[in-house]
Amino acid sequence: MPTPSRVVVVPQELGKPLEVVDCLLPDPGPHEVVVEQYASGICHSQLHTIHNPRAAAQILGHESTGVVTAVGSNVDGLAVGDTVMVTWVPKDQQQARREGELMTLELPDGRRAVSRNVFTWATHTLADEMFVVKVPADIDREATAIIGCAVITGAGAVLHTAAVQPGDSVAIFGVGGVGLSAVAAARKCGADPIIVVDLSEEKLAFAKRFGATHGVNASEVDPVAAIRELTVRHGRYDIMREPLRGVDFAFDCIGAPATMRQIAECVRSGEFGQSRGGVAVLVGVPQTPLELDSRFLFIGERSYRASLGGSCVPGEDLPRFLEWYAQGDLDLDALVTRRYTIDEIAEAVEDLEHGRITGRSILVFT
């Protein structure tokens, strides 16, 4: 039978306020499940949907914890009563190669609201099983809600996209929820130094709780110059016979035009005749074209990569990050700094947009 739910809806028309709509979720289709939500992360990337033109009303949110209350006829490995995490990345290869469908809700006033994959800003959600991962029942219901996006995106970029090794130097631009997850993963991987870049002294100081060794305030200094000064390697030389400067890996967890360029400029050159250069990794969602100095990349044999969802496989990585949390290597309790109810979603979005969230904020439903 249909499931009552309260869902955050972004109207089709730009500039209209978010709505919390009471609606009925249909019975799950063959590969769908209904999840009663415990908590959902509030991701910065959702602001792009809110502020960009759209063809229909939107339903948002793509990381949560909850319990399964109904399953479709062909669902495999999930059952009513299972504790689960909802994410936006297919959980394994088998599910990734199944087509899936656009998620569409019929609202009481006749409008259609859509999502490309999942929606978790809701008391109950309907999701394709490919985005739902069974987890132990005794997890923290709130703090772990951010693993499905913030953690896999930031930590996964370090662990998988870059494959950071012990002793590698890293710089991380932007230390919100994604950036702090990247910091924690860099520490777990044995990176040193771990340099963080932000515009807020408060955020730079907070990042040291997660493993940052140095903080660079980009509102006060040129971050590229500061990073290069911190990472001089005497006895190793570039093509110009100058000592190598720069980090092995730089991560842009923002996606702004300046930071997309800066991560390319702060990675080291290769040691001429001996090794390739450093790697810049784009993690934050970009909204503008990328402009780089191709000669700079070429001369130093530097590389530029993109990381979507941290190159993660959620069926394997969500349990991995839960283990990190249990072992004290990923302090989710500290990372979740604000909690809101669903009726406070407008305030939550405003706080996020104006930089009032130090770590990650969440919606709590129960």
Please tell me the predicted confidence (pLDDT) of residue 128: 97
Q: What is the mean pLDDT of residues 314-343?
A: 97
Is the pLDDT score of 100 beyond 90? no
Is the confidence at residue 1, as pLDDT, over 90?
no
Give me the residue label for tokens 């999701």.
Answer: 127
With CA atoms as reference, report the closest residue to 177 among 200, 133, 201, 210. Answer: 210
> Which residue(s) pair with 58 in the sheet?
10, 114
Contact of 248 with 278, CB cutoff 8 Å: yes
CA distance 163 to 242: 27
Span between the terminal Cα atoms of the chain, in Å: 22
Domain edge (last residue) among 271, 306, 341: 306
Quick check: is 240 in a domain? Answer: yes
* Domain co-membership, 17 together with 104: yes
- Answer yes or no: do 250 and 285 share one domain: yes
Could you tell me if residue 318 is inside a domain? no
> What's residue 328's pLDDT?
96
CA distance 48 to 346: 15
pLDDT of residue 366: 79
Query: Does residue 219 share a domain with residue 113?
Result: no
Do both 274 and 201 map to the same domain? yes
Specify the pLDDT at position 252: 98
154 domain-assigned: no
By the 8 A CB rule, do 5 and 49 touch?
no
Decide if 311 is inside a domain. no
Residue position matching structure tokens 């991380």: 172
Asked if residue 287 is part of any domain, the answer here is yes
Confidence tier at 99 by pLDDT (50, 70, 90) = confident
299 and 344 belong to one structural domain: no
Same domain for 169 and 301?
yes
Determine the pLDDT at residue 287.
87
Are residue 21 and residue 79 in the same domain, yes or no? Answer: yes
Q: How many residues does the chain have?
A: 366
Cβ atoms of 174 and 284 closer than 8 Å: yes
Tokens, residue 135: 């987890």
Cross-strand pairs, 173:
197, 252
Domain count for the chain: 2
Do 236 and 350 share a structural domain?
no
Rounded (10°) CA dihedral 132, 124, 140, 42: 90
List, for residues 234-288, the tens digit of each pLDDT value: 999 999 899 999 999 999 999 999 999 999 999 999 999 899 999 999 999 998 9
Express each pLDDT in 150-176 by its tens digit.
Answer: 999 999 999 999 999 999 999 999 999
7 beta partners:
21, 122
- 142 and 173 housed in the same domain: no
Q: SS3 for the chain, per residue?
A: CCEEEEEEEECCCCCCCCEEEEEEECCCCCCEEEEEEEEEEECCCHHHHHHCCCCCEEECCCCEEEEEEEECCCCCCCCCCCEEEECCCCCCHHHHCCCCCCEEEECCCCCEEEECCCCCCECEEEEEHHHEEECCCCCCCCHHHHHHHHHHHHHHHHHHHCCCCCCCCEEEECCCHHHHHHHHHHHHHCCCCEEEEECCHHHHHHHHHHCCCEEEECCCCCHHHHHHHHCCEEEEECCCCCEECCECEEEECCCCHHHHHHHHHCECCCCCCCCCCCEEEECCCCCCCCCCCHHHHHHCCCEEEECCHHHCCHHHHHHHHHHHHHHCCCCHHHHEEEEECHHHHHHHHHHHHCCCCCCEEEEECC
- Residue 317 counted as domain residue: no
* Structure-token match 């924690």, residue found: 184
CA gap 190, 303 in Å, rounded: 22
- Whether 319 maps to a domain, the answer reads no
Question: By residue range, what is the domain housing residue 68?
Answer: 3-149+332-364
**Closest C-alpha to 342, from 160, 171, 122, 30:** 122
233 within domain boundaries: yes
* Rounded Cα distance, 39 and 120, in Å: 8
Q: Is 212 exposed, middle or buried (0-12, 13-18, 19+ CB in 10 A)?
A: buried
The predicted model gives 298-327 an average pLDDT of 97
The model's confidence at residue 299, banded by pLDDT at 50, 70 and 90, is very high
Specify whether 133 is located in the same domain as 177. no
CA angle 194, 198, 201 (to 5 degrees): 95
pLDDT exceeds cutoff 90 at 119: yes
pLDDT in tens, 192-238: 999 999 999 999 999 999 999 999 999 999 999 999 999 999 999 99
Q: What is the mean pLDDT of the chain?
A: 96
